[in-house]
A and B are shown apart, each in its own frame.
Chain A
Amino acid sequence: MTAAIARPGTRTLAPRVFARRAFANEAGKGLWLVWRRRAITITGLVVNGFFFLMIQFLIGGGHLVLPVLALTLPGLFAYVVASTAALQGAGGIAEEVTAGTLEQAHLSPAPPFLLALGRLAAIAVEGLIPALVLVLAFGLGYGPHWVIRPDALVPLALVIVDGLAYGLVMTALVLRVPPIGAIVHVFNMAIGFFGGMFVPITIFPHGVEIVARFLPTAVGTEVLNTALAGRGLGAAWADGTLPWLLVHVVMLAALGWGTFLYTVHWARREGGLSPK
């Protein structure tokens, strides 16, 4: 936007102020909706926690193996953030298309990407809360041996952005591929199995490990594990996982962004903001 926003009868808003408010408004609405569906969030939290614990017992032959728990708990965190972003992002847009509220939202003077960022912020909160609750519950409950230092925040942030970028790709695809729900579930399952939530990806056969590193969250979990093991970011850079994570995050974010711009353009051309 290059000009001040004019509305009959009211004062004008500077574009930056308007953009900030539009973002906050969208995020605020998203948080209201998150609060309304809190029962679903709590159910998801319990199911994910239970499932994770059962797999841990299965891997340990009926016992909890703490070193494995320490290596896979970051994977659980990443999985919850990413799967929530994809599920709630795609599901939310699909519901808004059906309800007609997506069209109403697009009657805003705010550019669509600003609204998308606001939605993503709310979804991030929806994913981060159960992810943190699970990590705290298992972390405090079983006490995995982690070296918690500030440099772990870098891979943590990258893991979150990676998960949100994956969610953005799936959310954007809803407009172009209406039955995206099934695809989201398949990808979420793949991330669950190959993203380091059940076993570290280095345990996989080499070929599977290579494929897994293309999936969201897998490399992030690996780098996070390196940092939490106290080996520092230098080690992660030296073994190539941190550079790969950076590339992965940038590429996935760019893919999400590009997909979003394309599908919104397509939807406006084909009338896809509402049900056909």
Chain B
Amino acid sequence: MADSQQGNDVNGGRAPGGRPAIELSGLTKRYRRGNGWLTAVDGVTLTVPHGQVIGLLGPNGAGKTTTIKMACGLIVPTAGTIRLNGYDVGRRRADAVRQIGAVLEGSRNVYWPLTAWQNLMYFGRLKGLRAGEIEPRARQLLTDLGLWERRDETVGSYSRGMQQKVAIAAALITDPPILLLDEPTIGLDVEAARTVKDWIARLAADEGKTIVLTTHQLAIVQELAGRIAVIRDGTIIADLPTGELLSEFAEDRFEVRVKGLLHGFAGALPAGARAEADAGTTRVTLRDADQGRLHEFLDDLRAAGVPLLSVTQAQPDLEEIFLRLIGTQTPAPQPGDAAAVRIGGTS
């Protein structure tokens, strides 16, 4: 992905004005809850250079949405500063919000009783554009998103995917240099999510937008983001270029796929291995395995007459790394662990 290529420089990129696109410094948000305080975001510092796609990941309640809404100026931080293309959100809010378009989590974002066209005209004017400036862009966006023919129908009559497209178009109507996309694919079917994902990729690659993306669909982040920040309990616990993050967690791992459910195989899996049944086949993952252990296992399979389908070298994906980072998954089993899954008990 182009964004990955241009986005791996975590601190080096600069916005045209000479400052990074997004600067969050010591961002903290505390809410009063009863007699105490709930810290939603705790000292988040993040600098996003111009043109980078950053995935902001975290479990529910980790502080992702609060961070994004503070960046938008929708929630006032308890402490810390936010700059968007150099404009301080607290002091020059009007200029700062002109730099962003946002699709916010779990909401419609646009007016369902209005048509797609009316929505785009409204949101364009909301940021001070004139009709003559909005119309060509609205036409282009609606055409590109396949909504032009239905532009005069109310958004409420659209499918969920089309409604989300309108929300994205509304965020883009002023052609903002920064996009904050909080769960843009939530609730979408596979095809609609794919369209949205392709759009985000295009915005990053062709238009050089700076994009902050949060989603629980980690495969999308892995594909799109040049950098990943993981937030847990309001604190950034990891912030690395995607490739670096993946390589940090790289390990010697083999995946052996065999036919059937291995019921006839009398032997046990090697220590630290896991077996998962999948559509008439079984995938055995050997973690921290050297060539010798792999060959031993393959010999056992051959001896038992188990049909071998494939052997591949694999790496943990972002989902697995994410789960390890937030601490909901136990570390990779070590050789000799008693936790090894027995063949035949995994179907």
Q: Which residues of A contact B (CB under 8 A)?
A: 1, 3, 5-10, 13, 18, 21-22, 25-26, 28-29, 32-33, 36-37, 98-101, 103-110, 268-271, 273-275
Contacts and interface: CB of A to CB of B under 8 A. Distances in A.
Nearest to A265: B76
Q: Which 3 A-B pairs rank lowest in CB-CB distance, beginning with the nearest?
A: A100-B107, A109-B94, A25-B125
B127 to A, nearest CB: 6
Contacts of A13: 128
A275 B69 CA distance: 13
Contact of A18 (B97, B108, B128): B128
Given A7-B98, A21-B128, A36-B113, A103 B174 contact: no
14 contacts: A8-B175, A22-B125, A22-B126, A32-B118, A99-B107, A99-B111, A101-B108, A107-B73, A107-B127, A268-B75, A268-B76, A269-B75, A274-B104, A275-B107
A32 B114 contact: yes
Interface string B97-126: 111101010111111111000100011011
A20 to B, nearest CB: 11
B179 to A, nearest CB: 12
Given A22-B126, A36-B113, 9 more contacts: A29-B111, A36-B114, A101-B111, A103-B72, A108-B97, A108-B126, A110-B126, A268-B76, A275-B107
Interface in B58-107: 66, 69, 72-76, 85, 93-95, 97-100, 102, 104, 106-107
B254 to A, nearest CB: 46
B97 A107 contact: yes
Nearest to B111: A101
B126 A105 contact: yes
A274 B104 CA distance: 10
A104 B109 contact: yes
A7 B109 contact: no
Contacts of A18: 128
B69 A271 contact: yes
Given A36-B114, A101-B111, A5 B104 contact: no
A269 B76 contact: yes
Nearest to B154: A36
A88 to B, nearest CB: 13
A271 B40 CA distance: 11
B271 interface: no
Contacts of A3: 95
A14 to B, nearest CB: 11
Contact of A271 (B66, B102, B118): B66
Interface string B269-289: 000000000000000000000
Contacts of A107: 72-74, 97, 100, 102, 126-127
A149 B100 CA distance: 53
A5 B69 CA distance: 22
Interface residues of B, number: 42
A173 B65 CA distance: 25
Nearest to B129: A10
Most central of A10, A26, A104 by chain B CB within 10 Å: A104
B213 to A, nearest CB: 18
A7 B176 CA distance: 9
A270 B98 CA distance: 23
Contact of A109 (B106, B128, B177): B128
B296 interface: no
Given A100-B104, A101-B108, A109 B127 contact: yes
B212 to A, nearest CB: 14
A7 B127 contact: yes
A193 B98 CA distance: 48
A271 to B, nearest CB: 5
Contacts of A9: 175
A37 B100 CA distance: 31
